[in-house]
């Protein structure tokens, strides 16, 4: 088993390690020579101009795709199938199954893992309240608001019980009020239940709020242009954070970097 091999190596802090990763689609070089590490339970935000290969990078980490060059190591897993078993992936669109109600959608991973439908539903029923979905257990996706659908999608992703969480612009499709609300909610959710997280976004504030480190990528071919640790107080509210001088300084710096990169 790869996990036992990984634990024998004395590097417990390595969650995700990318070494010289490159991925090419036809004549287009999506990412080139990207090296990154995310410590165990660390939260990395990746920002960059559109088309800088952010999503490609997530696909490569998740095991949905394999790099053409370099190696990817996710908690000791190096093959695509082993990585898939460790990674949960959440895209921008909620992609709920329209014929399944909230509980049914949330329980999908448990059913896939072989649990009976009833048992899976009752297991996720205990989590619904914490995700702000209490009372909506039996509603179908088309009966929910965009923000609620995204919560269901997030619940579905977490229920899979993966060690690694890969978020591809998870709030990109939402209006700004709902997005701010969910960003802060996600921040507290990840802080209370830490997992190794990689978030891809082009929203600088989101990157700062959710990551403990931010990587700026350059335009195609995607490369790591700069990395910044974010050291923000964990207990602060969103408005307090947005007013902190460290926060605004970092945000301006990142915006400047982003302009250079594109």
By CB under 8 A, name the binding residues for other proteins.
Answer: 62-64, 84-85, 87-89, 91, 93, 95, 97-99, 108-109, 111-113, 140-142, 156-157, 160, 162
| Closer CB to other proteins, 98 or 235, in the complex | 98
Closest CA to 75 of 169, 206, 165: 165
Closest CA to 168 of 194, 207, 198: 198
Residues near 201 by beta carbon (within 8 Å), at least 6 away in sequence: 45, 46, 47, 169, 172, 207, 210
| Closer CB to other proteins, 139 or 238, in the complex | 139
Q: How many C-beta atoms surround the C-beta of residue 36 within 10 A?
A: 19
CA distances from 65 to 75, 92, 135, 163 (A): 17, 18, 38, 19
CB of 257 to other proteins, least distance (A): 30
| Closer CB to other proteins, 31 or 87, in the complex | 87
How open is the CA angle 237-243-248, to the nearest 5 degrees?
120
CB of 100 to other proteins, least distance (A): 8
CB of 162 to other proteins, least distance (A): 8
| Closer CB to other proteins, 109 or 208, in the complex | 109
| Closer CB to other proteins, 45 or 92, in the complex | 92
CB of 237 to other proteins, least distance (A): 32
CB of 221 to other proteins, least distance (A): 23
């Amino acid at each position: 088993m790869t996990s036992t091999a990984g634990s024998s190596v004395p590097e417990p802090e390595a969650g995700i390690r990318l070494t010289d990763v490159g991925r090419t689609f036809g004549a287009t070089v999506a990412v080139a020579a990207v090296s990154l590490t995310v410590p165990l339970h660390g939260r990395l935000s990746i920002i960059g101009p559109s088309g800088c290969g952010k999503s490609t990078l997530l696909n490569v980490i998740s095991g949905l795709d394999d790099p053409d060059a370099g190696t990817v190591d996710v908690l000791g897993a190096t093959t695509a199938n082993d990585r898939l078993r460790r990674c949960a992936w959440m895209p921008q669109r909620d992609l709920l199954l329209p014929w399944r109600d909230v509980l049914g959608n949330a329980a999908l991973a448990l059913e896939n893992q072989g649990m009976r439908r009833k048992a899976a539903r009752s297991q996720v029923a205990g989590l619904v309240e914490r995700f702000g979905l209490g009372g909506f257990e039996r509603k179908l996706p088309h009966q929910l608001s965009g923000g609620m659908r995204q919560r269901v999608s997030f619940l579905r992703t977490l229920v899979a019980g993966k060690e690694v969480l890969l978020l591809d612009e998870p709030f990109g499709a939402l209006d700004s009020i709902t997005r701010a609300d969910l960003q802060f909610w996600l921040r507290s959710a990840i802080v209370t239940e830490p997992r190794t997280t990689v978030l891809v976004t082009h929203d600088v504030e989101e990157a700062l709020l959710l990551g403990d480190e931010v990587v700026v990528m350059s335009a195609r071919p995607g490369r790591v242009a700069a990395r910044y640790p974010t050291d923000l107080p964990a207990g602060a509210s969103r408005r307090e954070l947005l007013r902190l001088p460290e926060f605004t300084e970092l945000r301006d710096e990142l915006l400047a970097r982003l302009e250079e990169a594109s």
